[in-house]
Amino acid sequence: MRDALLRAFRRAFPDIEPTHISRAPGRVNLLGAHTDYNEGYVLPVAIDRAVYVVAAASDEPLLELVAADIGERVAVRLADLEAGHDVEGSPLPRWARYPVGVAWALLGRGLAVWGIRAVFGGDVPIGSGLSSSAAVEVAFAALWQEIGGWELPSSELAKLARLAENEYVGVGCGIMDQFASVHGRAGHAILLDSRSLEWESVPLPPGTIIVVADTRTHHELASSEYNTRVRQCHEAVRRLSERLPGIRALRDLTPEALERNRDLLDDTLYARARHVVDENRRVLEAVEALRRGDAATVGDLMKRSHISSRDLYETSCEELDAMWEAAIEHPACYGARLTGAGFGGATVNLVLAEGLDDFVAHIRARYRGKTGIEPAIIPVESADGAWASAL
């Protein structure tokens, strides 16, 4: 990927030599579905699929960006970031709002942001729930840190990348995706407390492999429904706080308190809250199982997470359910669940390594038979977090 982007850079900017490169991994979330924006617990894994940026620093206050994967190009003046338009006055395409949003967030923090000519791309499948957007944001944040010569604590870099997506792109995501991309560690998952940002690396079970099964469906309602779920959770907290003044997020709610105060919520808000409360407990139970090397318990918790996401949080879809059903019927699969926002995208599967080939063949055939769609089945390895360097 590095060499391909270097060639793409020289085609895009034939008279300029690149000066810097950065890399940020995607992530897959073993457990913690929609808990991060509820200030809860998540269990992501940074993976060996990543976004790279090859760039040349410039004294000119201009961002010239090329998205190699889609063959599009845009130029934005640093003075026009707030306005959200390119040098021709046209609204920025959505793909450009991620790196431009990072520049906007860094400048808002008072950090030096150099003009750049940059080409970026990678092998994180877009829309598959592996957080390609966060990988783009973190890769550019790491790049500007390297070029600018300033240094932030890694958690602060993740926060600014998240701010770009929340405030500039307009997606109300939590901190998990950017945090995992910054802090990944090979051979480990990350237990993250989304409120305090306390975290620890937890070893993955020996003899297992993580398989991402992309349904190759990406429903248009994903972004709007994601934001709807965020609003529903906030509304549940607002109503519950009338009787429980100490809570500020669903993370603060115990199962017992939810049941005692169920009358404050309609059926939809209760279902959303029930999922989040139970999912936080599943994450913590999974961490204890990982410390014991107990893949079977982790897998069972993943299955329960998918059922809850499907029935209570309503973020699954026909294709995701078909992929999940195909996975859990195979004896090499410890557990599976949808990953990412839902409404299409991918499942994450914890699989016995020695049964990998048969598992992949099985779910590919079963899913294709149920849906008529050829899936992308991607075994992934855990990976270290983002880096940037001079060339």
**pLDDT at position 130:** 64
Are 185 and 283 spatial neighbours (Cβ–Cβ below 8 Å)? Answer: no
**132: pLDDT strictly greater than 80:** yes
DSSP 50-117: EEEEEEEEESSSEEEEEETTTTEEEEEEGGGTTTTB-TTSPBPPHHHHHHHHHHHHHHHTT----EEE
pLDDT computed for residue 225 by the predictor: 86
Catalytic residues: 177
Q: Which residues contact 326 (CB under 8 A, 6 or more apart)?
A: 362, 363, 366, 367, 370
Tell me, what CATH number does 67's domain have? 3.30.230.10
**366 in a domain, yes or no?**
no
Averaged pLDDT for residues 34-50: 94
Task: Establish if 114 belongs to a structural domain.
Answer: yes
Task: Assess if residue 30 is contained within a domain.
Answer: no
Query: What pLDDT does residue 131 have?
Result: 67
Asked if 131 contacts 55 with a C-beta cutoff of 8 angstroms, the reply is: no
Residue at 145 is within a domain? yes
Q: Tell me how many domains the chain contains.
A: 1
Instruction: Give CB contacts under 8 A, 24+ apart, made by 150-157.
Output: 150/111, 150/112, 152/111, 154/182, 154/183, 154/385, 155/179, 155/182, 155/183, 155/197, 157/182
Residue 330 lies in a domain: no
Residue 52 within a domain: yes
pLDDT score of 128: 57
Residue 126 above 80 pLDDT? no
pLDDT tens track for 300-350 = 999 999 999 999 999 999 999 999 999 999 999 999 999 888 888 899 999
Is pTM beyond 0.85? Reply is yes
Whether pLDDT at 145 is above 90: yes
Say if 381 falls within a structural domain: no
Distance CA 331, CA 281 (A): 26
Host domain of residue 142: 2-24+47-185
Joined together, the tokens standing for residue 137 give: 């944001």
Q: Which of 333, 313, 332 is nearest to 324 (CA)?
A: 333
User: Does the pLDDT of residue 211 top 90, yes or no?
Assistant: yes
In a domain, residue 131? The reply is yes
CA distances from 306 to 237, 239, 317, 328 (A): 23, 27, 11, 11
